[in-house]
Amino acid sequence: MLGASWFATRPAAETAAVDCAEVVHPQAVAELVHGKKRIVAWVEDLRALTEREILACGDVLSRIVDHVRALVADTDQTVQASLARSESLTSRFVTEMQDDILAQEDAVKQVLTLTDGIESAIDAINSLAQSSHMLAINARIEAARLGGDGRGVAVIADQMREMSKTVRVTADTVRASIAGLREGLPSVRERATSINERTRSFIDVMAEHVKSAARHSQGGASTSRLDAVIELSNVALSHLQFQDPLAQKLASMDRDLEVIVGRVRRVLDGDGELDAIEDGRASGGVEPAPGDVMLF
């Protein structure tokens, strides 16, 4: 924290004000801007990942349902009742799935909204940088008059105390926003788990209905439909793998948020220049695309 004691250790008000204006604030702003960009990019990645996989899964499920409907035509009455139940199950599933997806979108939006706190912190620090620039000018003027009654320097000291309060509030805002973000992440994961489990259970039940229908129906057409449903079920399940990369992305976000808090705190504490921000990826070599098999 950049408090009154930080200023007190400086030999003169002029030096401190110049330091604030030219070193601490621009770097704090840069840290925050970079941090916010990363958070927004992560959340966008998460949204795209879940949306893409859930939509793809939904598409495959609708093809399964088409096969089930086609099977109704060549099955006996007992099986028709079973398939009717599966159709009603499908309608309920689709409604619940839509609710889940909306809730997931809400969770992601809430996480994104919390970055507004960081935005306001950026504004506060920017305005602080302007104030400290004015202070630096005043300090230079007063320094030129030193030896007088010293009242001008006292005014600058008061203004600096005010600045240190603002910095403290700003740093608290950043910490609160990031703490809120971290608290919001588990809900994104819980929603994804719920979507995943619900879909798995739906696929299991549908597969049972279709197997039963194929056993009771006549001809090779039903068997080939059964094969198609099993194949499509596998494809739908493979889309549900999004939960694993999602969990890992969330864990990585959580780690990086901690790093951002640390970096901003160090800048606001006046620890000087930090190393260039790394994006956590090793350079050199080409990353394989998802699904690629790379044998050594």
Q: Which residues bind other proteins (CB under 8 A)?
A: 53, 196, 200, 234, 237-245, 247-248, 251, 281-282, 284-296
CB of 248 to other proteins, least distance (A): 5
Least separation in angstroms between residue 200's CB and other proteins is: 8
Instruction: List, as one string, the DSSP characters of 21-84.
Output: IIIIHHHHHHHHHHHHHHHHHHHHHHHHHHHHHHHHHHHHHHHHHHHHHHHHHTS-HHHHHHHH
Q: Tell me whether residue 154 or residue 230 sits nearer to other proteins (CB atom).
A: 230
Token pair for residue 55? 């939509």
When the beta carbons of 21 and 43 are compared against other proteins, the nearer one is 43
Nearer to other proteins among residue 11 and residue 285 (C-beta): 285
Q: Chain centroid to CA 44: how far?
A: 7
Are 36 and 118 in contact by the 8 Å Cβ rule? The answer is: yes
93 vs 242 by CB, closer to other proteins:
242
Query: Cα–Cα distance between 84 and 113 in angstroms, integer?
Result: 44
> Distance between CA atoms of 270 and 171, rounded to whole angstroms?
13
- Beta carbon nearer to other proteins, 276 or 294: 294
Q: How far apart are CA 93 and CA 99, in angstroms?
A: 10
What is the nearest approach in angstroms of other proteins to the Cβ of residue 251?
A: 8
Whether residue 53 contacts residue 291, with contact meaning beta carbons closer than 8 Å, is answered with no
Q: State the minimum distance, in angstroms, from the CB of residue 255 to other proteins.
A: 12
CA 105 to mean position of chain CA atoms: 12
Of residues 235 and 277, the one with the C-beta less far from other proteins? 235
CB of 52 to other proteins, least distance (A): 11
Q: Minimum distance between the CB of residue 135 and other proteins, rounded to whole angstroms? A: 46
